[in-house]
Amino acid sequence: MARTVAVEQPTIGAYLIKRLQDFGVRHVFGIPGDYVLGFYEQLAKSPIHIIGTVQEDGAGFAADAYARVNGIGAVCVTYCVGGLSLANPIAGAYAEKSPVVVISGAPGMRERVNDPMLHHKVKSFSTQREIFERITAAAIVIDDAEAAFGRIDDALRVCWQQKRPVYIELPRDMVDARPRHAHVSQTVEVPTDADALAEALAEAVGLLNKAKRPVILADVEVHRYGLGIELTRLVESTGIPIAVTILGKSVISELHPNYLGVYEGAMGRTDVREAVEGSDCLLMLGTFLTDVNLGVFTAKLDRSLAIEATSEKVQVSRHRYDGIAFGDFLRALANARIRKRALPKARARRAKVAKPGDVPMRATRLFELLNDRLVDGMAVVCDVGLCLFGAIDLVIHRKTEFLAPAYYTSMGFAVPGALGVGCANKDLRPVVLVGDGAFQMTGMELSSIVRQRQDPIVLVLNNRGYTTERFIKDGRFNDILDWRYELLPQILGTGWGAAVSTEAEFAAAWDRARAHRGSFSIINIRLEQMDHCPALQRLGEQMAANLGPSGKKV
Amino acid sequence: MARTVAVEQPTIGAYLIKRLQDFGVRHVFGIPGDYVLGFYEQLAKSPIHIIGTVQEDGAGFAADAYARVNGIGAVCVTYCVGGLSLANPIAGAYAEKSPVVVISGAPGMRERVNDPMLHHKVKSFSTQREIFERITAAAIVIDDAEAAFGRIDDALRVCWQQKRPVYIELPRDMVDARPRHAHVSQTVEVPTDADALAEALAEAVGLLNKAKRPVILADVEVHRYGLGIELTRLVESTGIPIAVTILGKSVISELHPNYLGVYEGAMGRTDVREAVEGSDCLLMLGTFLTDVNLGVFTAKLDRSLAIEATSEKVQVSRHRYDGIAFGDFLRALANARIRKRALPKARARRAKVAKPGDVPMRATRLFELLNDRLVDGMAVVCDVGLCLFGAIDLVIHRKTEFLAPAYYTSMGFAVPGALGVGCANKDLRPVVLVGDGAFQMTGMELSSIVRQRQDPIVLVLNNRGYTTERFIKDGRFNDILDWRYELLPQILGTGWGAAVSTEAEFAAAWDRARAHRGSFSIINIRLEQMDHCPALQRLGEQMAANLGPSGKKV
């Protein structure tokens, strides 16, 4: 073997920190613990900011939201008590394709000899890795200094290419270890099959040019692969109208004249449904055929009239092309000669929203009033339930300004999500839409928001329980305690809060909140318990039907 | 095949509820979701009480604490977003042998055909089960109505016998399904090998009779197998002095004249260490040789002079006996003819505790003052960190009155744990010892405590951060926000709170809290940031040493 030159290699911890920065990580969310303190110490000395949270699940949601805005995110916790507390948010990041790097401290390799009962251990030292294998795209343990750098590269590349979380377990005695041999970081990109691309493109262009009513349906992968500009270019060069899914919402400015609205099968607006389902050539870009995106499978999409391009394939009618990168296809389409259609007639301006009155607030009116008030520079971070379905028709002004866990639908995403958004882009002011049930789960991450001096506006849609479930099966188990959310600034030592019951009170509180900068604002919006928006009612009915006959037979 | 008589069988949901009751489950903790609503509806109509929590992890901790007091516990949640949020508390229940039945709703078997992208799904429909296989003693999916009753019986039996959590996944279309064939519930107990028991007993009795300084070291399994009375009988019939581990603390009344204290290697009190390590016949009962129990492996126990009986084996010196149930061995010992030793001389009464003064509160004094104030009927529920190590020398009055996650050491156990204790035994009033870091994680479960009209006394040991970690490696990452915990009653609409900084203020607040019944009390005890108890300092030093050389080589 050739002798290597005796250049000292970086420590494994230092290498990991450098590679995280190479991929664009500027903030790491998490909570320290003894098995990860050595790496925290290295992080603290690096340019990366450590963002402490009150609970690990909050760190996971924050890193997910950060990744959606920043392109990649990271979370760093201790072994098992920390890592296993991330299982739910990381599963959500996997399900919704959000690239989050999970770094977990762990007992040192030398401590593991003879399998002692170290604190935080569950069954075996591999328990945590085995669990993360099931909710990430790659799970590695840095148990060999020589192989460490290559494995870190591999894991980060999988995260970046697949836009899904990966798991890196760093035993505490490996943090300061150095490999003896040099390592060359490599970025192995799988190139697109040019012939396949040419053929697929020609076919797609032919179909689009022939079509009378082509429509684009854009979904989450356009966000994840950072292709919003290309998408807008495609829309403007062809004049084809565009709808989005709820998971893909805000992938194009919703003020764009070609923008139709959110498509969600029978749950969405009728005019959007008719345009999408009536198309004779539906161009589906980055789509994710989930039950929520498909309106609990009420969508009626004719695949024989569709072109679908995702990170996994390009499919035209019933045949598929492999080996084509999603970005290459979308860019090629945007540059292709496609017949330009007339821009749609300027749509009728939305009917003027009635002024807020001294009348009890209703959910439908809340979203109308909010629609009138959202401005550029605000990012809507939305939780699950009433707020998600009500938000379908919010008009988002720029791209990447609407975030929601719209497929995995874990409650508790939004408040820690706002923390992540605030770190990813200081110029975005999050507006958090969150139900009271979800707020109770993770809302105390306001504490972490205070520590970062961020100033989101948090709207708690308070209906004293799990109202989405009341529409499926009601019982006292759907009730929760009625907190005075507006008093939380007293607990946290800063912030501004108010409780409102009427439209006029809401309008006044919104103005106060907008003017309040430097710390969070929280508005406790008291709604009737069974108040809802039309989409929620339709969803509840659909889900109750899916429960099947409460019957005698299986 | 013989024709079966056409007697209608119960539904699977009804059968599960009945069997849970057979084993002693009276309360189920959890949060509903659409995949589990059908079973919640059945539960709501049954004699079992549903105890809603604000977060699933709180439900897991509450069920764990409930199981420790009640003998078995249960938690019921929805698929993935609920279940995966339980991963950490259930891993803790596994590690510390707490028998918790996890019931998770799931997509119906009929919905799973063609593998659609249903909301809450991660990789495949088996993801959640595969994860729970790694943190439970048995994980089953009720996917076959005919096999359902037998599988439920098997899972519950494993839970009961091994004192570890089990996982039962209940697809929503199976809840109301009924098997066609009758089922006979069987309880298969593995009988003790009588010959092995006789031989092991004879050997143990011989060694104990010969010994000059026998000592009993009792640990967690005495709690879990409900053998506290037998243990006390053994101590009283033989006069042998007894020490306990921190995980086994309160397994015998700490006012008992034979009680030595908590043994924890070099971290515990010196007199206890000398008695245990100087014994010429150490009888270890239900022991769990974890790093924490062994004082981060500073324990010096000579196995050749030890008799160890656990649920897994009976070991004398270097040889082991299999096939002996732990309870059978302990009962046989308590009934055996063992030389009775003189009761130890009455120990010097604890030096009188100085009266609370107008001086800043220090951790050491807090535990002294508390020791003077704990009375019968109080249960100390202890979280991790300063409070755990300080609590080593608290004097617990009756059995099963001290609960702590002393091995797995997950922060956030105590407040939801108090909820579980309050449900398990209404006559116990929990005194919660919790650090500010742990309180921020799960303390809002006070909301669930309010809903149950319980009145624990919550002591927040507030040092503005993760002080245990400061002793290992300090940095700003150990800081957290300073909440005004005492104002939480305003958020929750009930409760009583105070902030204290001096001994006298604490004493007055304690009296107020004791007198305040019907809702929780919370005392924000402001400590110096680096204040500590001696055990914590020793632990920090030990753990910092275990980090190893921050060195150049591995």
Distance (Å) from the alpha carbon of B176 to chain A's nearest alpha carbon: 6
What is the tens place of the pLDDT at every residue in A345-386?
A: 655 546 688 999 999 999 999 999 998 899 989 999 999 988
Looking at residue B553, its pLDDT comes to: 27
A44 neighbourhood in chain B, CB within 8 Å: 475-477
* CB of B472 less than 8 A from some CB of A: yes
Query: Which of B88, B546, B554 is facing A81, going by the closest CB pair?
Result: B88
Structure tokens at B493: 């609409």
* Closest B-chain CA to A78: B410
A119 neighbourhood in chain B, CB within 8 Å: 290-292, 407-409
Q: How many Cβ atoms sit within 10 Å of the Cβ of residue B554?
A: 21
Structural domain boundaries in chain B:
12-171, 194-335, 363-537
B119–A292: do the CB atoms touch at under 8 Å?
Answer: yes
> Which A residues in the span 215-274 are in contact with B, Cβ-Cβ below 8 Å?
none
Phi, psi (rounded to 5 degrees) for A3: -80, 135
* CB of A474 less than 8 A from some CB of B: no
Looking at residue B104, its pLDDT comes to: 98
Handedness of CA B540, B541, B545, B549 (dihedral sign): positive
Distance (Å) from the alpha carbon of A202 to chain B's nearest alpha carbon: 31
A448 neighbourhood in chain B, CB within 8 Å: 481
The CATH H-level (homologous superfamily) assignment of domain A194-335 is TPP-binding domain (3.40.50.1220)
A33–B469: do the CB atoms touch at under 8 Å?
Answer: yes
C-alpha to C-alpha distance for A509 and A516, rounded to whole angstroms: 10
* CB of A479 less than 8 A from some CB of B: yes
Q: Exposure string (b/e) for A299-329, b if CB count within 10 Å is 16 or more?
A: bebeeebbbbbbbeebbbeeeebeebbbbbb
Query: Which of B33, B145, B412 is facing A554, going by the closest CB pair?
Result: B145
A407 neighbourhood in chain B, CB within 8 Å: 117, 119
Q: What percent of chain B has pLDDT over 90?
A: 77
* Closest B-chain CA to A408: B120
* Closest B-chain CA to A146: B554
A176–B475: do the CB atoms touch at under 8 Å?
Answer: no
A80–B408: do the CB atoms touch at under 8 Å?
Answer: yes
* CB of B528 less than 8 A from some CB of A: no
Judge contact between A445 and A56, C-beta under 8 A. no
* CB of A80 less than 8 A from some CB of B: yes
Looking at residue B347, its pLDDT comes to: 59
A408 neighbourhood in chain B, CB within 8 Å: 80-81, 119-120, 122
- The 3-class secondary structure across A396-452, one letter per residue, is CCCCCCEECCCCCCCCCCHHHHHHHHHHHCCCCEEEEEEEHHHHHHHHHHHHHHHHC
Of the candidate ranges A289-303, A457-471, A474-488, the one whose mean pLDDT is the lowest: A289-303
* CB of B110 less than 8 A from some CB of A: yes
What is the tens place of the pLDDT at every residue in B89-137?
A: 999 999 999 999 999 999 999 999 988 889 999 999 999 999 999 999 9
C-alpha to C-alpha distance for B103 and B48, rounded to whole angstroms: 14
C-alpha to C-alpha distance for B194 and B190, rounded to whole angstroms: 12
* Closest A-chain CA to B408: A120
* Closest A-chain CA to B172: A547
* Closest A-chain CA to B133: A131
B483 neighbourhood in chain A, CB within 8 Å: 447, 491-493
Looking at residue A399, its pLDDT comes to: 57
C-alpha to C-alpha distance for A11 and A202, rounded to whole angstroms: 50
Judge contact between B330 and B307, C-beta under 8 A. no
Q: How many Cβ atoms sit within 10 Å of the Cβ of residue A532?
A: 25
CATH topology for the B363-537 domain? Rossmann fold (3.40.50)
Provide CATH code, domain A363-539: 3.40.50.970
Query: Which of B15, B27, B34, B90 would best serve as a mutation to test chain A binding (most A beta carbons within 10 A)?
Result: B34
Task: Give the pairing of strands B259-262 and B281-285.
Answer: unpaired
B290 neighbourhood in chain A, CB within 8 Å: 117-119
* CB of B17 less than 8 A from some CB of A: no
Mean pLDDT of B288-299: 84
Distance (Å) from the alpha carbon of B119 to chain A's nearest alpha carbon: 5
* Closest B-chain CA to A451: B481
Tell which residue, A282, A261, A302, has the closest CA to residue A393: A261
A120–B408: do the CB atoms touch at under 8 Å?
Answer: yes
What is the assigned CATH class of domain B12-171?
alpha beta
Report which secondary-structure segment, H or E, holds B273.
Answer: helix B270-277
**In the predicted model, is pLDDT for residue B265 greater than 90?**
no
**In the predicted model, is pLDDT for residue A543 greater than 70?**
no
Average pLDDT, chain B: 92
* C-alpha dihedral (B467, B472, B477, B483), degrees to nearest 10: 0
pLDDT band at A551 (very low <50, low <70, confident <90, very high): very low
pTM of the full structure? 0.94
**In the predicted model, is pLDDT for residue B468 greater than 90?**
no
Looking at residue B3, its pLDDT comes to: 52
B492 neighbourhood in chain A, CB within 8 Å: 481, 483-484
B145–A57: do the CB atoms touch at under 8 Å?
Answer: no
B475 neighbourhood in chain A, CB within 8 Å: 40-41, 44
What is the tens place of the pLDDT at every residue in B166-199?
A: 999 999 999 999 999 888 877 667 789 999 999 9
* Closest B-chain CA to A95: B122
* Closest A-chain CA to B540: A34
Structure tokens at B90: 């259930």
ipTM here: 0.94
**In the predicted model, is pLDDT for residue B410 greater than 90?**
yes
* Chains A & B: contacts with CB separation below 8 Å: 269
* Closest B-chain CA to A125: B134
B488–A483: do the CB atoms touch at under 8 Å?
Answer: no
What is the tens place of the pLDDT at every residue in A5-25?
A: 567 899 999 999 999 999 999
Q: In a 10 Å sphere around its CB, with 0-12 CB exposed, 13-18 middle and 19+ buried, how is residue A438 labelled?
A: buried
